[in-house]
A and B are shown apart, each in its own frame.
Chain A
């Protein structure tokens, strides 16, 4: 999915904008590219992810997916996009604390039946979460929850994968393992990645890096 930004400014940040590669710029993110947005807190990383996921629309300028302005999308269209074209790992993860690991993943996977149970098991195994498969999400550590949220995000078809600080609570080894799962899936689906981080995460050499 090609994404273009044309003079986009988040309304709450209108007065306090500094130098940015994205805000108030005209840029294109190519389909199938890996993009990392590195910026300190309060510069609008999560806002950008939420704009791209259709949760917020309080911005000026135009964001387009494949030459269609996302401001024109209806609620129904956003639901279709979230099921078929865009997947996300929220900064706040948004797991269901009362459901176990597998149920949390299936609640997403069953929308499209994209992955089989054994494929899900393979992914959980790859991120080291298989031993916790029947544990309720509410009792897992934040790092474990982050890995569950990553696996959940991979269990649907997508053209764009949004990752909002997905490795913030993972050590290097776990982060690397999780990124490999992500990268394999993205390669398979030939999707675009938009990843945000406080500091540069050097997981892949072909990543475009932007600052906000």
Chain B
């Protein structure tokens, strides 16, 4: 047992350890593990960020509109979908369902009405998509007649425009997503000789739908109540897909000269690029860690070989392979634990610093320590298995 290990054995083996080699190992292992853990932290952040939007929406969809050409601008002809076109799109096998974007046909003004908040007043428009596209578990998206509160989903860009364009110029504070969703807003709706004020609040931000969404039921009711003329022309479609990654969808869209105005496409390209980059960074981290493990292993083998005569003497005094290799194994274990904890600690600090810097740009909940900790434990077990086997083998070779 470890307790039975006497100071003489430690004295013998300690004197044989090479400090420069151990320092070299520790440094390289620290760098490798730091890169690995940092990549893991970033990967969790990133997947959470990407998933945030999918939480908001319940289905896979694309948003399609017609291309606006210079000729259309000149002839004032609007880029609308005809009923025939919509029916034809519905027939495509890769689409499950086709729905239209409903647009507000009345005047809307958004303003703040509180002494504690800076005065903001702006004209707006609303659009709506069927409720089934939104995840009812995540947001309260219900509206019934007589309700004076209207939930709103803003495009993510809006927040960025406010934070980086509007707020600094007007001397207003920059706001995070969570703060923004707590601000009480007022909506003034006018049309058809009527004018009413409603309470509103932003309940979520979307990267995928680049418009201001309100519940479809509300918009249909409001169009009936406030619109002076009913113009049912359809300029944008929301289409539910079986598999959004199906290349046939994009072939069809480009063949028809439509365009997809969906941030999700940009996101998926970005996602691919970021996943690839993070995988490469993580891979480099693993590579540096493996090199460090190999370096320590090499130093141990070198020390054991250099110490051959001493180890042989111990063996002849009755010590077993396992007892002889134990100090090296314990040393490797303690060193690995220290290095893992140190790298985890440093990468956590670094990650917190980065997250703090990005707080205004994107809001990401802290990924927690669990996944990096599991990574650390897995790394520890892996390093220990490799080291134990290699040290035991080297000792056997040396004493025989």
In contact, B317 and A82 (Cβ under 8 angstroms): yes
In contact, A106 and B316 (Cβ under 8 angstroms): no
Digit string of A116-135 for contact with B (CB within 8 Å is 1, else 0)?
00000000000000000000
Residues of B close to A107: CB separation below 8 A: 6, 8-9, 12, 314, 317
Residues of A close to B83: CB separation below 8 A: none
Give bound CA distance, A90 to B313, whole Å. Answer: 10
Within the complex, the shortest CB–CB distance from B203 to chain A, in Å, comes to 70
For the A-B complex, the count of residue pairs with Cβ-Cβ distances under 8 Å equals 49
Residues of A close to B314: CB separation below 8 A: 107
Q: Which residue of B is nearest A98, CB measured?
A: B15
In contact, A79 and B8 (Cβ under 8 angstroms): no
In contact, B316 and A82 (Cβ under 8 angstroms): yes
Give bound CA distance, A106 to B315, whole Å. Answer: 15
Q: Does A115 contact B (CB under 8 A)?
A: no
In contact, A98 and B318 (Cβ under 8 angstroms): no
Within the complex, the shortest CB–CB distance from A110 to chain B, in Å, comes to 5
Please pick, from B15, B317, B321, the residue contacting A75 in the complex, using a CB distance under 8 A.
B321
Within the complex, the shortest CB–CB distance from B354 to chain A, in Å, comes to 50
Q: Does B320 contact A (CB under 8 A)?
A: yes
A contact face: mostly helix, strand, loop, or mixed: helix
Within the complex, the shortest CB–CB distance from A46 to chain B, in Å, comes to 13
Q: Which residue of B is nearest A153, CB measured?
A: B317
Q: Does B229 contact A (CB under 8 A)?
A: no
In contact, B316 and A53 (Cβ under 8 angstroms): yes
In contact, A99 and B8 (Cβ under 8 angstroms): yes
Q: Does A111 contact B (CB under 8 A)?
A: yes
Digit string of A19-56 for contact with B (CB within 8 Å is 1, else 0)?
00000000000000000000000000000000001010
Give bound CA distance, A82 to B320, whole Å. Answer: 10
Q: Does A83 contact B (CB under 8 A)?
A: yes
Q: Which residue of B is nearest A152, CB measured?
A: B317
Give bound CA distance, A107 to B10, whole Å. Answer: 11
In contact, B6 and A96 (Cβ under 8 angstroms): no
B1-31 residues with Cβ-Cβ distance < 8 A to A are 4, 6, 8-9, 11-12, 15
In contact, A76 and B316 (Cβ under 8 angstroms): no
Residues of B close to A104: CB separation below 8 A: 8
Q: Which residue of A is nearest B314, CB measured?
A: A107
Q: Which residue of B is nearest A83, CB measured?
A: B318
Residues of B close to A79: CB separation below 8 A: 315, 318-320
Give bound CA distance, A55 to B399, whole Å. Answer: 10
Q: Does B299 contact A (CB under 8 A)?
A: no
Digit string of B291-323 for contact with A (CB within 8 Å is 1, else 0)?
000000000000000000010011111111100
Count the B residues whose beta carbon is within 8 Å of the partner chain — how many? 17
Within the complex, the shortest CB–CB distance from A107 to chain B, in Å, comes to 4
In contact, A82 and B11 (Cβ under 8 angstroms): no
Give bound CA distance, A80 to B320, whole Å. Answer: 9
- Asked if A110 meets B316 with Cβ closer than 8 Å, knowing A75-B321, A96-B310, A98-B15, the reply is no
Q: Which residue of B is nearest A78, CB measured?
A: B318
B190-214 residues with Cβ-Cβ distance < 8 A to A are none
Give bound CA distance, A106 to B9, whole Å. Answer: 10
Within the complex, the shortest CB–CB distance from B321 to chain A, in Å, comes to 7
Residues of A close to B319: CB separation below 8 A: 79, 111
Residues of B close to A55: CB separation below 8 A: 316
Give bound CA distance, A99 to B316, whole Å. Answer: 17
Digit string of A55-72 for contact with B (CB within 8 Å is 1, else 0)?
100000000000000000
Within the complex, the shortest CB–CB distance from A16 to chain B, in Å, comes to 27
Q: Does A208 contact B (CB under 8 A)?
A: no
Q: Does A14 contact B (CB under 8 A)?
A: no
In contact, A110 and B8 (Cβ under 8 angstroms): yes
Within the complex, the shortest CB–CB distance from B326 to chain A, in Å, comes to 14
Residues of B close to A82: CB separation below 8 A: 316-318
Residues of B close to A156: CB separation below 8 A: 318
In contact, A110 and B320 (Cβ under 8 angstroms): no
A146-193 residues with Cβ-Cβ distance < 8 A to B are 156
Please pick, from A98, A99, A111, the residue contacting B317 in the complex, using a CB distance under 8 A.
A111
- Asked if A98 meets B320 with Cβ closer than 8 Å, knowing A106-B6, A107-B6, the reply is no
Digit string of A85-116 for contact with B (CB within 8 Å is 1, else 0)?
00010100010101100011011101100000
Please pick, from B9, B12, B316, B321, the residue contacting A98 in the complex, using a CB distance under 8 A.
B12
B215-242 residues with Cβ-Cβ distance < 8 A to A are none
Most chain B CB within a 10 A radius of its CB, from A53, A76, A90, A94:
A94
Please pick, from A75, A88, A110, the residue contacting B6 in the complex, using a CB distance under 8 A.
A110
In contact, B15 and A94 (Cβ under 8 angstroms): no
Within the complex, the shortest CB–CB distance from B8 to chain A, in Å, comes to 4
Q: Which residue of B is nearest A111, CB measured?
A: B318
Within the complex, the shortest CB–CB distance from B274 to chain A, in Å, comes to 54
Instruction: Report 17 cross-chain contacts, Cβ distance below 8 Å, ordered by A residue.
Output: A55-B316, A79-B320, A80-B318, A82-B316, A83-B318, A94-B313, A96-B8, A96-B310, A98-B11, A99-B8, A99-B11, A99-B12, A106-B8, A108-B317, A110-B8, A111-B318, A156-B318
Going nearest first, the 9 A-B pairs with the smallest beta carbon separation are A82-B318, A83-B318, A107-B8, A110-B6, A103-B8, A79-B320, A94-B313, A108-B317, A79-B318
